[in-house]
Structure 1
Amino acid sequence: MKKPIIVISFFIIPFISGCNPNEHLTKGLVEDYYNAVIHQNYEKAFEVSRIYDLGSRNTVETNFTEKEAKEFFKKKLNYLKKVDYKVKSYEIVEIQQHDGHTFIYDVSLEIQVNGETMNRREKVWPKVDHENIAITQSEDPLAKYRDGRVNFEIEEHWLKDIKKESNNTLNISDSSI
Structure 2
Amino acid sequence: MSETVKNVITIVALISLAVGFYYYYQNSPEQKVKRVAEEYYESLIDEDYESTFNHLYVYDDNENHHPTDGTKLSEKEAKQFYMEKVKTLNEFEYQIKDFDIYNIRKEDGHTSFAETTLVVDVQGHTYEWKETIDEYNGEAWIVDSNDPFVKFRDGTVNFDLDEAQPKYFFQDGEESQE
TM-score normalised by L of structure 2: 0.79
1:91 aligns with 2:100: yes
1:150 maps to a residue whose letter is: V
- Aligned-pair Cα RMSD in Å: 3.0
CA contact 1:73–1:146 (8 Å) conserved in 2:
yes
1:49 aligns with 2:59: no
Higher strand share: 2
* Count of residues in correspondence between the two structures: 166
Equivalent-residue separation in structure 1 for 2:73 and 2:135 (angstroms): 21
Task: Flag the structure with larger Rg.
Answer: 2
Higher helix share: 1
Equivalent-residue separation in structure 1 for 2:101 and 2:174 (angstroms): 24
Q: Measured at CA, do residues 59 and 162 of structure 1 come closer, stay the same or move farther in structure 2, by a change above 3 Å?
A: farther
Equivalent-residue separation in structure 2 for 1:40 and 1:170 (angstroms): 23
2:154 to 142, 147, 156: 147
Aligned to 1:175: none
1:132 aligns with 2:139: yes
2:79 to 70, 80, 90: 70
Equivalent-residue separation in structure 2 for 1:156 and 1:78 (angstroms): 14
Q: Give the C-alpha shift of residue 100 in structure 1.
A: 5.4
CA contact 1:142–1:161 (8 Å) conserved in 2:
yes
CA contact 1:88–1:111 (8 Å) conserved in 2:
yes
TM-score normalised by L of structure 1: 0.79
Post-superposition, which runs of at least 4 consecutive aligned residues in structure 1 deviate over 4 A? 1-9
Report % sequence identity. Answer: 29
Specify every segment of 5 or more residues in structure 1 that has no aligned partner in the other structure, as ranges: 173-177
Equivalent-residue separation in structure 2 for 1:57 and 1:169 (angstroms): 35
